[in-house]
Amino acid sequence: MDFFEAQARAKKSTSRLVALFALAVLGTVLGSYGAAVFALHQTHDDNPRRSGRSAQRSTLNAQLPSWWQPRLFLGVSSLTLAVVGLASLYKWNEFSVGGSAVAESVGGRRVDPHTTDTLERRLLNVVEEMAIASGVPVPAVYIMDEEPAINAFAAGLNTSDAVVAVTRGTLEKLSRDELQGVVGHEFSHLLNGDMRLNMRLTALVFGILVLGLAGRGILWTLRFQSLGGSRDREGKNSGGMLIAIGFVGLALLVLGYVGYFFGRLVQAAVSRQREYLADASAVQFTRNPGGLSGALKKIGGFALGSSIQSNQSGAIGHFFFAQGFRSHFGGLWATHPPLDERIRAIDPQFDGQMFDPPDVVDVTRESFVTAGLAPAQPSRTSHLAQPPATPAAAAIAAVGTLTPEQISNAQLLLDSTPARLRAATQTPAEAQVLLYGLLLGEHPATRARQRSLVASSSGGDALRTLDELAPSLVALGLAHKLPLLQLALPALRLLPPTALEPFLVTLDELVHIDGRVTAFEFALHKLLIRTLALGRTPGDAVVQIYSFNAVVDEISIVLSAMAHTSDNHALAAAEAFAIGAAHIKLIEHQLTLLDPVDCDVGPLDPALDTLATASLPIRQRTILACAHIAGADGQILIAEAELLRAIAATLDVPMPPLTLAPR
């Protein structure tokens, strides 16, 4: 699955949706204008000063307002657009808090990283494996305790604020392979840009619905006014006005709900297509069609299926793994394809037989393996993808993907990580100290100064924790360091601003204490800052730059930094730079290899921040060029891989761990 192609497809889908919703809003504007003109005519005809004489009636008819009223049209269209726009912005603002707000709104409970519940532990392990394998920050994990059916969803505006939520029924009824298939499905939504698309859909549909709600409010108000109003002459004289207002309210009610009806049709149609894509991606990720199809068969076999009980979940029905609510209008509003069609797309030999639930389950006699708590060993001899021809191709092919090999490697990496270090990732206090430890230098004098800094900034308890972690940190392999940061991110997101600021200051001082910044130090610092920033304010990730020419200087800095990072002198930095620049044909001859001092951390940091606001094609080409520079000599060194992942993370491009050459 091509990450950039999937992202572009999601963006194209969004553009088409915006166009369709714009047409719906335009129709609503024209309908509202027609209602307003009719009301104006009605008010004019009901003028109480009219006499019964035909001459006066003829004069009045001659003075009837024109059906084209530019000022009226401007007012009606402005008011309609304001209502729809403000309502959509209101709903979008609710979502901009992040995926956690969506999960909590439907009764989700965040899973404690220290949980001793075996089912919750299994879920955390599966999510962590997929996050490490795909190179994205580990999402927060939520459980909907009050939902006994089988369902799940992913939410968030980007990978930095994403959450994965599952129902209690998903935990209790699925095996590990089936759970992995469901989580793989949700990671597909995460990697393919579907989460942001789903949130935009919900906000736009809500904006149109508010018109209908406004019309209903007007009619409700008029009803009470008519019940309590007086019958004097003035009341009779205002009858025409009340009728006109009532007609406008009725028109808004009808138009709003008609627009909502068609908006939901568009929303459902797009959602069904994205579900097919997510199913295909999940099978590609796990190479285990039986896991995903088994979960779907269990949904079809259990009485509750995938039904969601929470009333608050109706607005996000298209977020879920399976149909959460009964579809109205003969399935036109169905957000998911029928189960048998989804299963048959995965398994063409499906005979239509769903899972047959047992009457009694003797859980006391289940073994660790049969309960699905132990990962199945992936096949080493079948379904193996052919490796790309070059390291650069491997790096780009890995972007936004999940493969059985990556998942298996992530499992091995997590299993080989010292238990004490994994435990430290689970609490905000120890996660901070863990990152301090990852930055400790090898030189004794530097290490002593760093320890002194930790003691003065964080206290004696932090220093004691650091000493406790030290033996495991010394033996830690380089491949484990950035994944440990990924594991620590959920805990670090819980830090309040008053604690986060001094932590980041200390981290920055630890990085610069020896007067130089290594590729790993820059990667860790940049990954952390970028992820925490987007996790707290996900709405800040907006595109502002669409021209390659506008970022020539920034791209030159990034490519130069990558060219100078290599420790292999067989290929000059200038030649490596030229190889990378050749992949950005539009500005190839404008790009310049800079001296190392002009592309070190000082200029590189703001250059990446600027490129983070660039459009997807610009970011795609920049990453492609960097990968070809890193692999120009036929291998990717550790320092190059660390810088490449830092660049990818800043540009919101998920890149998993790469196969590296020794330093």
Residue 141 zone, left/alpha/beta (φ > 0; ψ -120 to 50; rest)? beta
Residue 462 has pLDDT above 80, yes or no: yes
* 1-5, 407-411, 562-566: least confidently modelled range: 1-5
Region of residue 348 (left: phi > 0; alpha: psi -120 to 50; beta: else): alpha
Res 379: pLDDT: 39
**pLDDT classification of 321: cutoffs 50, 70, 90:** confident
The C-alpha atoms of residue 412 and residue 125 are separated, in whole angstroms, by 12
Contacts of 16 (CB under 8 A, 6+ apart): none
Question: Which of 152, 164, 182, 172 has its CA nearest to residue 313?
Answer: 152
Cβ-based neighbours of 4, under 8 Å, separated by 6 or more: 399, 400, 616, 620
What is the average pLDDT across 59-69? 59
Q: Quick one: pLDDT at residue 400?
A: 64
| Residue 566 or 458, more confident | 458
What pLDDT score does 535 carry?
Answer: 62
At 310, is the pLDDT very low, low, confident or very high (cuts 50, 70, 90)?
confident
Query: Is pLDDT at 53 greater than 70 in this prediction?
Result: no
Residue 543 has a pLDDT of 65
Q: Is position 186 annotated as part of the catalytic site?
A: yes
Helix (H, G, I), strand (E, B) or coil at 204: helix
Would you call 69 helix, strand, or coil by DSSP? coil
pLDDT for residue 362 = 40
Tens-digit pLDDT profile for residues 170-224: 999 999 999 999 999 998 888 877 777 777 777 877 877 787 777 777 667 766 6
Evaluate if residue 386 carries a pLDDT over 70: no
More confident residue, 272 or 57: 272
Single pTM value for the model: 0.68
Burial of 651 from C-beta contacts in 10 A (0-12 / 13-18 / 19+): buried
Per DSSP, helices labelled H in 416-474 are 419-424, 428-438, 444-458, 460-474
Type of residue at 117: D
| Catalytic residue chosen out of the listed positions 186, 275, 554, 640 | 186
C-alpha 540/C-alpha 617 separation (Å) is 19
Please, what are the domains in the chain? 100-197+275-346 (3.30.2010.10), 548-650 (no CATH)
Share of the chain above pLDDT 70, in %: 76
Q: Which tokens hold the place of 507?
A: 């981290």
Cα(28)–Cα(355) distance, integer angstroms: 46
148 pLDDT exceeds 60? yes
Q: What is the mean pLDDT of the chain?
A: 78
Query: Could you please report the per-residue DSSP string of 136-170?
Result: SPPPEEEEETT--S--EEEE-SSTTS-EEEEEHHH
Burial of 314 (0-12, 13-18, 19+ CB in 10 A): exposed
